[in-house]
Amino acid sequence: MRRTALLPLVFVAACTSHDPRAEAERLVKPPELGAERAALPGSAAPTLAATDALTWLERGPDATEDACGMQAEEWKGFFPTQVWRVSCTWRTTRYYGFDGDFPERAQAVDDALVAAGWPKPDEALSSAIRYFRQTHKPGYDVSHVPPVAYHRYIGDQPWTVQLSWAEAGRVPAGFRTTRTPVEPLHREAAEVDPEQVHRDLTSRHQFVLVFSLSARYFERTIAD
Mean model confidence pLDDT for the chain: 84
Residue range 138-176, pLDDT digits in tens: 677 888 888 999 999 998 999 999 999 999 987 887 776
CB burial class (10 A; 0-12, 13-18, 19+) of residue 176?
Answer: exposed
Tens of pLDDT, residues 80-130: 677 888 999 999 999 999 999 999 999 999 999 999 999 988 788 888 888
Q: Note the pLDDT of residue 2.
A: 42
How confident is the model over 184-201, as a mean pLDDT?
A: 92
pLDDT at position 17: 44
Per DSSP, helices labelled H in the chain are 2-16, 20-28, 34-52, 102-115, 124-135, 194-202
End-to-end alpha carbon distance in the chain: 29
Output the pLDDT for position 1.
41
Round to whole Å and give the CA distance between 201 and 208.
7
- Which of 30-34, 68-72, 208-212 bottoms out in mean pLDDT, i.e. has the lowest? 30-34
Give pTM, 2 decimals.
0.82
Tell me: the pLDDT tens digits for 9-29? Answer: 333 333 444 688 888 888 888
Q: Which residues contact 52 (CB under 8 A, 6 or more apart)?
A: 59
Instruction: Give dist(CA 188, CA 142) in Å, integer.
Output: 31
